[in-house]
């Protein structure tokens, strides 16, 4: 294993196969678009079977990560062990708690992700849910920014976020999306029950497809001369509004 850009990775066809077969938690695999061999075919097949994100890229991208003999493949090792949301939600109910899940739609900045993990853990969230593709790489920078929270909070990822949102709704969670386009104000909406809070990407907020799944579209009023907040700041405001309402609702 080598350290590069604060991310642990392994390279070479045999070492990557060994990493997959040994059960290491793999964040993603980069495979040269020109690489063809029985071993790379096996890597592709195992990645599909185990739902490991795999991206075919030009060989130059691999050269920029390491100049050593990578044989056309690099696997990034995750510092967290992903949990299955389908198993986690029933466990939360069985423990007598109301699930609180923070869903991140295409949040790609690792420091934003780390800051959100720290906030979510401090607010008592049970899990962070991310799509397998289009999310921040969980690396050493994310862990450091989280101030250790990523070692404690559950992180779940899904290949199909729309289907997983349907599962959360069927499990009794209210889906609340925070969007600057909404006219409903965050703290005027009841958020005391089981809830999944969707926060959108740094570029364009929550995707239209996920907004359609939401029970509530919520906004944070901003009387100042700026029309948006950093996603980690907005997540903090929303998470602690949920905390405030839950505390107020206690007998």
- Helix H segments across the chain? 13-21, 38-50, 59-65, 85-94, 110-122, 140-145, 161-170, 208-211, 231-249
Q: How many domains does the chain have?
A: 2
CB contact at 8 A, 154 and 126:
yes
Q: 163-198, pLDDT tens digit by residue?
A: 999 999 999 999 999 988 787 999 999 999 999 999
Rounded distance between C-alpha atoms, residue 215 and residue 203, angstroms:
23
Place of tokens 């185990």: 50
Give the residue from 24, 42, 77 where a domain finishes: 77
Same domain, 73 and 89: no
Rounded to two decimals, the pTM is 0.85
CB contact at 8 A, 131 and 157:
yes
Same domain, 116 and 58: no
Same domain, 174 and 241: yes
Give the residue from 52, 77, 102 where a domain finishes: 77
CATH number, domain with residue 32 = 3.30.1330.30
Same domain, 61 and 127: no
Query: Rounded to whole angstroms, what are the CA distances from 150 to 7, 88, 121, 136, 198?
Result: 15, 16, 8, 13, 19
Q: 114-146, pLDDT tens digit by residue?
A: 999 999 999 999 999 999 988 998 988 899 999
- The residue range of the domain holding 67 is 2-77
């Amino acid at each position: 294993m080598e350290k590069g850009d604060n991310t642990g990775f392994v390279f070479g066809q045999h070492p990557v196969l060994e990493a997959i077969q040994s059960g290491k938690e793999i964040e993603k695999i980069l495979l040269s678009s020109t690489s063809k061999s029985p071993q790379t075919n096996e890597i592709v097949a195992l990645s599909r079977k185990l739902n490991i994100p795999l991206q075919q890229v030009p060989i130059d991208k691999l050269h920029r990560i390491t100049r050593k003999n990578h044989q056309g493949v690099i696997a990034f090792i995750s510092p967290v062990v992903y949990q299955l949301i389908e198993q986690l939600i029933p466990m939360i109910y069985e423990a007598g708690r109301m699930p609180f899940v923070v869903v991140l739609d295409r949040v790609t900045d690792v420091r934003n992700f780390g800051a959100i993990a720290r906030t979510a853990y401090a607010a008592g969230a049970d899990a962070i849910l991310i799509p397998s593709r289009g999310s921040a790489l969980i690396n050493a920078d994310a862990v450091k920014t989280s101030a250790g929270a990523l070692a404690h909070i559950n992180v779940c990822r899904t290949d199909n976020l729309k289907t997983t949102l349907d599962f959360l709704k069927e499990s009794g969670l209210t889906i609340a999306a925070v969007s600057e386009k909404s006219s409903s104000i965050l703290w005027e909406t009841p958020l005391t029950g089981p809830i999944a809070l969707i926060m959108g990407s740094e570029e364009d907020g929550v995707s239209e497809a996920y907004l359609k799944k939401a029970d509530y579209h919520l906004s944070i009023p901003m009387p100042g001369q700026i029309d948006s907040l950093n996603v980690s700041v907005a997540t903090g405001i929303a998470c602690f509004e949920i905390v405030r309402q839950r505390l107020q609702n206690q007998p």
